[in-house]
Amino acid sequence: MSSEKGYDTAILTVERLSKAFGGVKAVNDLSFSVTQNAIHAIIGPNGAGKSTLFNLITGVIAPNEGKIKLFNHDITSLRPDKIAQYGVSRTFQNIRLFPDMTVFETVLIGTYLLTGGKLLPALFRSNEFRKRERQAKDRIKEILQFVGLWDMRNEYAAKLSYGNQRRVEIARALATNPRLLLLDEPTAGMNQKETKELMQLFSQVNQQGITILIIAHDMHLVNTLSNQITVINFGEKLVEGPPEVIQNHPAVVEAYMGRAEANA
């Protein structure tokens, strides 16, 4: 994916964000922005603060300092469900699926925002509730066809192959109709074939107008898909730029890729 797409509208802005756990600063005075329709990668060594950053953006934890803005709306102090309503969805590094739910049922959970989630209309099966429920099920069919899981819709999600479980998780995230999708190490533990297939899916998701912010250690994935990379180390921004600049940057090689090569 070219780094010269001409994107200039910021969908997400992180301003001087900091989060400490005890005396350890997991994120320290971090600032960056993600432009609309981009695939923006966050990379760095293990323990650099990447997953903490995702938890801050999605409201799982609150920062000690700084601001997070989505489409110029301050979402810093909002609950995760409110942030989701603004169009933010995510996957996790460790797959989180219910063992007793089918693929269809698992992805249907993601339409909670669409169906409303109010108790009385659900109990009495109001006309409005049934209408939204039909819309949700139609949407799930579209999503499962899109990610290649429609034929597996009645299988238990947790019993699928590792690669397909990842697809279920991505489908569930897409069911919330996100404008910004956060992917935390989505290809970790996958073989080369599964990784290639998921990379193609991410590109197709992005072509649907969904901005992607991705954490990844796979530099082939990062360099192939992203058009902007932010490198963090010890919770601080080390350097930022397009892949062709980042992959050869001396500071990045020393702090990140150099370690990877040393451990290879």
Average pLDDT, consecutive stretches of 10 residues, N- to C-terminus, the chain (264 residues): 52 96 93 96 91 95 96 91 91 87 92 57 59 83 96 95 93 94 93 93 96 93 94 92 88 63 41
Query: Quick one: pLDDT at residue 114?
Result: 54
163 and 191 in a common domain: no
Q: What is the CATH number of the domain that holds 219?
A: 3.40.50.300
Structurally, the chain folds into a number of domains equal to 2
Q: How far apart are CA 179 and CA 10, in angstroms?
A: 12
182 and 162 in a common domain: no
235 and 117 in a common domain: no
Give a yes or no: residue 1 inside a domain.
no
Query: Quick one: pLDDT at residue 110?
Result: 83
**What CA–CA distances, in Å, run from 111 to 46, 168, 184?**
33, 14, 21
pTM, 2 dp: 0.86
What are the two backbone dihedrals, phi and then psi, of residue 29, each rounded to the nearest 5 degrees?
55, 50
Domain boundary among the residues 147, 177, 207 is at 177
For residue 141, the enclosing domain spans 97-177
232 and 213 in a common domain: yes
Query: Quick one: pLDDT at residue 253?
Result: 74
Task: Give 183's DSSP letter.
Answer: E
Q: What is the DSSP string of 97-139?
A: --TTSBHHHHHHGGGHHHH---HHHHHHT-HHHHHHHHHHHHH
Residue 49: strand, helix, or coil:
coil
83 and 105 in a common domain: no
Query: Quick one: pLDDT at residue 257?
Result: 52
